[in-house]
Each structure stands twice: as structure tokens, then as C-alpha cells.
């Protein structure tokens, strides 16, 4: 099968490896604006492929990817597995419950073991912030962060941006970025790596970002990230073009942060009545898993033409295909993606 065409070389990005000079994808905080846009544009051709009857190509045939997940996952794990297989790679899933971590093996020893298996890329999810970066420092292949503690979840934020881009284009809004867009993120901001990564992507692309949470679930000095904090959900919703809801991260809470789920829904649940406070036609997003009837009502989650929740899942596969493709180009010897010549910016 012929590969979908790559995005046009219109001079928007530096050539070759300078377009994305990083070996790993550990977080959005490491990326420049043009690098974010580059990954989004690279994902576009995989969106088209995934909508065809025949979805598999042999672009990465012969490569082996390891998905090492030390936390439970459904969407992210399946998405990375499907992404690798649709590109023709061999994909191996490692779950913490089946690993020697349960026998007391240290994270460094696990990293050394994974490295000895000579994988071509490793996707890691871990419950501790910084754990993915530690492993990346001990291995010789590209590492993709599938979520580390409360730190970051970069591919989730990128797929959310890709989803939003497609939805806006369908409405005839073809701007290159999100300048002028008002996005409200509501939920457990304190414990959410998704919130942090989305804030970094959205602000880098020009959006006005509002974050809303009970005082106990709002990080201190969050405004330093370039967002506007709210505790009043109605005020945060006023005129919003996009509403992104987040679940309560109960597995990361070591105390009582809210009185009850019922009280939380009363103050912060997204109902149809509350959605009407946002801009007309405001789009609704949720990274999943959802707690229906708590942070979002079922009728809102399934609102045709408004809810992008299932579209987010679809875009996740395409975005992760793009990341796996881009991060392995250097090892595959693609022209212009070699190592930079010493003291120059010329990639060979």
C-alpha cells in the first residue's frame, strides 16, 4: 500500500531533524511551538489512513516497541498498541503486575533490562513524576511518556489539540493555531497531568485558558502557567468556546478533598443547563475515563455535534502513529535525520 503523503514542505519548519530534534517525548514543556505544530501536521496523514478500510502500512516493519505500563490503562495502552501495529511494527505490552517490579526490582534495573532487549522505542506510564525521564536516561532508544504521576501526559494533550483542530476546521475555522479561543478546563487540576500538558499546549498555540476547581483541588500559583483560575464554575464557563472536563483523581488523593461526589456534581458537574452559559455551540471534551453523573452528565457527553469525546479516542491513534514515526526516523536513517555535525545545525 502507498503511504499517505507527508505534509507539504512549505518552509514552516526547519529541514529534517531540526523540525523535531528531540530523541524522546517526555513532556510538552520541552517543546517549542513549531515542534508542537509539526507533530500535529504529521498526524494528519494518519488520520486519513485510519479512516480507510485497509489501515496497515509497513513503514516501521522490523521495529519493536515495548509498552511498559506501571499503572492501569485502557485508552492509552490500546491506542499505542494499535498505532505501532498499524505502522507495521512488532508491539509488546508489559504490565507492572506481570513484571519483576512486584518482586522488588528497582526502576533503574527495570530500565537496564528493557534496554538490553534492544527495543526501537519504549512507551512508559508510571505513577511517579519523573520516573519516565529517569528511564529515558538509562536506555539507548526513544522513550515516549504515556503519563508520569502528576507531571505530564504529552500525547493526550497533543491528541486533544488535533481533535480540536479538526472540529474547528469542520466549522470553517481554519486558523493555524488557537489564537482567540477561550478554553475552560474544569476538574481536579491539582492532581491532573492531563491538565498540565493541555495548559502547555493550548497556551503555546495562543488560546486563553481558564482553569476551574474547588480551592482544595487548585494548584498554588497556577496563574504562573499563563492561565486564569476560577473557583466559580459559572464564571469560568461564561463565553467559553471549549469546555474540557476532568475526573477526580481519587487514586492520587491522600485525604478528603471534597465533601462528597454529590456535592461536587452540584457545584462543578457539567450539565446541559451549565453548558448553556458557554458560547453558543461550545465544544465539550473529556480525556476519559468519565464519571458520568459526577463531573459530566450523560446527555452532555453524548451531545451530537458538541461532544468530541469519542473523536479524541480516534485522534489518539493517529497522533501516536505520528510520534512513533517521527521519533524513530533518526534510527531508520532517513535523509536529514542523522546526528548534527559538531558545531553546526546541519543534520546529515
Query: Tens digit of pLDDT for each residue in 226-285?
Result: 999 999 999 999 999 999 999 986 554 444 567 688 899 999 999 999 999 999 999 999
Cβ contact 217:258 at 8 Å: yes
Confidence of residue 175 (pLDDT cuts 50, 70, 90): confident
Give the per-residue pLDDT at 105: 72
Give the per-residue pLDDT at 347: 47
Query: Which letter, b or e, does each residue of 208-218 get, where b requires 16 or more Cβ atoms within 10 Å of its Cβ?
Result: bbbbbbbeebb
Give the per-residue pLDDT at 253: 42
Query: Tens digit of pLDDT for each residue in 92-105?
Result: 999 876 665 655 57
Q: Is the pLDDT of residue 290 over 60?
A: yes
Q: What are residue 123's phi and psi, to 5 degrees? A: -105, 125
Q: Which domains does the chain have, with CATH numbers?
A: 16-152+313-332 (3.40.50.1370), 180-302 (3.40.50.1370)
Q: What's the whole-model pTM score?
A: 0.93
Give the per-residue pLDDT at 72: 86
Q: Which residues contact 156 (CB under 8 A, 6 or more apart)?
A: 76, 147, 194, 197, 198, 287, 316
How far, in Å, CA of 221 to CA of 227, rounded?
10
As a whole number, mean pLDDT of residues 49-54 equals 95
Query: Which letter, b or e, does each residue of 293-312 get, where b requires 16 or more Cβ atoms within 10 Å of its Cβ?
Result: ebbbbeebbebeebbbbebb
Give the per-residue pLDDT at 252: 44
Cβ contact 258:214 at 8 Å: yes
Confidence of residue 137 (pLDDT cuts 50, 70, 90): very high
Q: What percent of the chain has pLDDT over 70?
A: 89
As a whole number, mean pLDDT of residues 331-344 equals 77
Q: Which residue has the higher pLDDT, 16 or 149?
A: 149
Amino acid at each position: 500500500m502507498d503511504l499517505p503523503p507527508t505534509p507539504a514542505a512549505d518552509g514552516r519548519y526547519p529541514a529534517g531533524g531540526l523540525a523535531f530534534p528531540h530523541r524522546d517525548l517526555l513532556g510538552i514543556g520541552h517543546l517549542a511551538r513549531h515542534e508542537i505544530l509539526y507533530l500535529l501536521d504529521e498526524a494528519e496523514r494518519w488520520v486519513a489512513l485510519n479512516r480507510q478500510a485497509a489501515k496497515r502500512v509497513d513503514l516501521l516493519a522490523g521495529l519493536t516497541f515495548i509498552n511498559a505500563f506501571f499503572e492501569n490503562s485502557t485508552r492509552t495502552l490500546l491506542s499505542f498498541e494499535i498505532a505501532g501495529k498499524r505502522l507495521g511494527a512488532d508491539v509488546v505490552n508489559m504490565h507492572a503486575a506481570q513484571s519483576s517490579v512486584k518482586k522488588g526490582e528497582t526502576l533503574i534495573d527495570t530500565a537496564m533490562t528493557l534496554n538490553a532487549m534492544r527495543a526501537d522505542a519504549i512507551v512508559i506510564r508510571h505513577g511517579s513524576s519523573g520516573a519516565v525521564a529517569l528511564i529515558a536516561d538509562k536506555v539507548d532508544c526513544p522513550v515516549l511518556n504515556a503519563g508520569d504521576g502528576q507531571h505530564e501526559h504529552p500525547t493526550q494533550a497533543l491528541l486533544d489539540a488535533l481533535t480540536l483542530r479538526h472540529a474547528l476546521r469542520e466549522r470553517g475555522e481554519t486558523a493555524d493555531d488557537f489564537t482567540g479561543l477561550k478554553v475552560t478546563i474544569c476538574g481536579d487540576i491539582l492532581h491532573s497531568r492531563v491538565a498540565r500538558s493541555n495548559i502547555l499546549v493550548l497556551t503555546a498555540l495562543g488560546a486563553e485558558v481558564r482553569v476551574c476547581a474547588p480551592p482544595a483541588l487548585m494548584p498554588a500559583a497556577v496563574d504562573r502557567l499563563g492561565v486564569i483560575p476560577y473557583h466559580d464554575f459559572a464564571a469560568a464557563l461564561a463565553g467559553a468556546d471549549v469546555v474540557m472536563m476532568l475526573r477526580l483523581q481519587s487514586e492520587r488523593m491522600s485525604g478528603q478533598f471534597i465533601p462528597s461526589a454529590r456535592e461536587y456534581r452540584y457545584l462543578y458537574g457539567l450539565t446541559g443547563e451549565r453548558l448553556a452559559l458557554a458560547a453558543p455551540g461550545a465544544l465539550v471534551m473529556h480525556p476519559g475515563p468519565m464519571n458520568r453523573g459526577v463531573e459530566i452528565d450523560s446527555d452532555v457527553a453524548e451531545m451530537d455535534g458538541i461532544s468530541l469525546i469519542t473523536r479524541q479516542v480516534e485522534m489518539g491513534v493517529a497522533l501516536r502513529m505520528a510520534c512513533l514515526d517521527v521519533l524513530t526516523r533518526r534510527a531508520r536513517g532517513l535523509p536529514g535525520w542523522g546526528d548534527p555535525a559538531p558545531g553546526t545545525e546541519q543534520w546529515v
